[in-house]
Amino acid sequence: MNISLFYFLAFLAILSALMVVISKNPVHSVLYLIICFFAIAGHYVLMNAQFLAAVHIIVYAGAIMVLFLYVIMMLNLNSNVEPHKSKWLKVAATVSGGLLMTVLVGALRQATTTVASVPNSDVGLIENLGLVLFREYALPFEVSSILLLTAMVGTVMLGKKEIN
């Protein structure tokens, strides 16, 4: 079942990534990108990295995609505003894409595949991450938290309106 789920998630990620590029509506592209992020988070779950999957969904599908949607809606991008590309540019893009695909297929045919053995299957678990983070990297963790706090205070101070 894991292999079929892996192939389904891989197919979904590739299909949604293609739809990001193909879609003419920028809002639809962002929504397809969110689907791609969820498929990649599913791969993290299959690799037993549940915390990384949750962080991936919260940070990318949550915060960054909301920011992208906000910017796209504020800019009011439409397909009728987009400049038309010449016929030769489309032909050159098609030829270069075909050549890239030919090179990638040739490289994949010559590649050898081996099954990697994982000695420790609890690599991505939150307990191990917490132990390493607070035992070995306590000082950099605290310095980064102070840096983020300083950035938040600076943002509030810059965005604050002065009352005369």
pLDDT tens digit sequence for 140-161: 889 988 998 898 888 778 777 6
- Class for domain 1-82, per CATH? mainly alpha
**pTM for this one?**
0.60
Domain ranges of the chain: 1-82, 125-164
| pLDDT given for residue 124 in this prediction | 60
| Mean pLDDT confidence for 88-94 | 89
Q: Is the pLDDT of residue 74 over 80?
A: no
pLDDT tens digit sequence for 25-49: 888 888 899 999 999 999 999 988 8
**Alpha-carbon distance values, 139 to 73, 136, 142, 153 (Å):** 41, 8, 5, 21
